[in-house]
Structure 1
């Protein structure tokens, strides 16, 4: 990254949920930085803690959630210590969010234009006429055709892809410094998904936004992210640049995520790799490496002791005992090795 201005710093974050069954340990000691103008992707299966982490930053955790320890530093403030009234001045204004399902973000009985102008008028204290003009400009900027006409339409009159564009316009209305995208393309078909990703990428460049992208699909962020953090069972198990993660993955969980991705060479006859087993029950976090029970490369120590973050390079770290100097040398899965070799030959990348 050329510009290394740190805009958010998450330090040793622990989040739990009180349930009838007991305490769920959703986020367990997560730390990362987000820099000005970069896109950081947080990737992992459902239940890995990635959305809980993003909601902690937005201050929209449910009432049964507790931030037990840790800090979220933004603009010389620890967001974990703010009261809701103080947070409301930051939420939406300085930190915007795009959710997975646009229909849950939009009021079905309110015209689209009004939903955007309300954000403008509340956050910027501008007149009705000025807010309407700005809303139409935003609608045009996110690719809504006939924006003047569609300003007076309702959400049900838009397709899923167009509704997601409206949600993006509303998130941008307050001119935030940070945009959190929580699975923003999951409900969309592949073509529309690509358009939305390209739109977010273009806006990020134009406005020098810091973007945090939450997804279960590594393929979605391949051409969007500058850095990737892989989460499993409430922890970051590997992080690095996009090139680090795709061309030199080190954690067996990252290998599994990459191996299970279809690509252009995958035919209808090919059997996709499936990660064996299921994620652990976070009511009772496992001892040692949480991925050990699903990891065919697991050693005895994986079931006894949690691995530290080992340094792979200045930009790349992974929490796996396989990186210990005394660990046996393990080859990455053949399916993944072939894919990396094909991609490096195609792009002329040396790894």
Structure 2
């Protein structure tokens, strides 16, 4: 079995707001294994980015740590003082954000921004750092790297800026790379190139990747496992094939039904309603008001995780032995048919 590199257990984080305490993360648990890509998928506000920022020690000042742990190399990151966390952040665990311009200084040449990571984190001499920075730029697919080393971020396209951010993230030989919606602002062609680059670097460097996205389709070909988040909880987790082709939670069904390439008609099936106000977290299943398959118990009690396989779990009362059988959405049936056809073609 693969080596576990990160363990998040019962993590709970809230935020102070002018309207009250917002329960952002409510008992999130998952493991990350050496060399794998774990995708965390869900709508905006589901808690994906808060989870990633907790791992990086980058929570906002109004955050409240309610409990749980994030264990890395035998240490609970939630208990580390900032001076010790600083040694891990960027060196062992790096992060790529959605907008590369939020990570890059617009008035500093990109080459200097890469070398700073090498000089200050690794103590590398300036000339050696410059050589290494150019090598990194070449590795992430920046053409004419020596010339572009002396250019500013505004002289690069969005895709090329994201490549620069990736080179900075990997400058210190990090073991874990967190990608927070890294392709959302890019067009489809460039999006595919960045995904291929991340996958290539993962294999070459034996990285462990946490890929955060609102779009299941983005991670279809890169994720080893998928965790689906809703209202601060993981509601389904399993191998990528299990979540795509044998999903069990109605929220996962809804996400799959809203994917453009799976639309079974000219119109996409948008998820009705809106996520709950987490200042007033629901008593039962948070997805119940938006779930046309909801049972009476969904409004009264949160469902536990039910085991589907040794690697696949879902928190839905529909998996209870006494639950009624429901008709699957067309998108899920279409996926299963496509999978069957692919198997037969082989």
Q: Distance in 1 between matches of 2:70 and 2:263?
A: 41
Partner of 2:35: 37
Cα distance in 1 between the residues matched to 2:155 and 2:330: 48
Cα drift, residue 319 of structure 1? 0.1
TM-superposed CA distance for 1:347, in Å, is 4.1
Give me the whole-angstrom Cα distance separating, in 1, the residues matched to 2:342 and 2:259: 18
Match of 2:282 among 286, 297, 319: 286
| Distance in 2 (alpha carbons) for counterparts of 1:163 and 1:212 | 20
Q: Secondary structure at the match of 2:260?
A: coil
Say how many residue pairs are matched.
Answer: 346
Q: Provide the C-alpha distance between the structure 2 equivalents of 1:35 and 1:58, rounded to a whole number of angstroms.
A: 17
Match of 2:332 in 1: 336
1:242 is aligned to 2:236 = no
Matches within 5 A, 1:153-232: 153-232=151-230
| Equivalent position of 1:318 in the other structure | 314
SS in 2 for 1:89: helix
Q: In structure 2, how many angstroms separate the alpha carbons of the residues matched to 1:68 and 1:274? A: 34
Change (3 A) 1:241 1:349: farther
Alignment equivalent of 1:71, drawn from 69, 72, 80: 69
Distance 2:260 2:227 in 1: 20
* Cα distance between partner residues in 2 of 1:69 and 1:325: 32
CA distances 1:119-150 after superposition (whole Å, capped 9, x unpaired): 00011101111000000000000000000000
The answer to whether the Cα contact below 8 Å between 2:11 and 2:25 also exists between their aligned partners in 1 is yes
Distance (Å, rounded) in 2 between the aligned partners of 1:278 and 1:116: 41
Residue in 2 that maps onto 1:259:
257
Equivalent residue number for residue 295 of structure 1:
291
Task: State the Cα distance separating 1:339 from its structure 2 match.
Answer: 3.2
After TM superposition, give the deviation of residue 344 of structure 1 in Å.
2.7
The answer to whether the Cα contact below 8 Å between 2:256 and 2:331 also exists between their aligned partners in 1 is: no
Post-superposition Cα deviations, 1:194-252, rounded to whole Å, max 9, x if no partner, equal 00000000000010000000000000000010000000000000000000001100000
The CA distance in 2 between the partners of 1:74 and 1:336, in whole Å, is 36
Q: What's the secondary structure of 2:308's corresponding residue? A: strand
Shift of 1:334: 2.0
Shift in alpha-carbon separation, 1:349–1:122, aligned structure 2, 3 A: farther
Aligned to 2:129: 131
Structure 2, unmatched stretches of 5+, are none
Which consecutive unaligned segments of at least 5 residues does structure 1 have?
none
Contact 2:237 2:312 in 1 (8 A): yes
| TM-score, reference length from structure 1 | 0.97
Partner Cα separation in structure 2 for residue 255 and residue 222 of structure 1: 15
Report the alpha carbon displacement of residue 348 of structure 1 after superposing the two structures with TM. Answer: 3.3
Asked if structure 1 preserves the Cα contact closer than 8 Å seen for 2:245 and 2:332, the reply is no
Shift of 1:342: 2.4
1:103 matched residue in structure 2: 101
Hey, what does 1:116 align to over in structure 2? 114
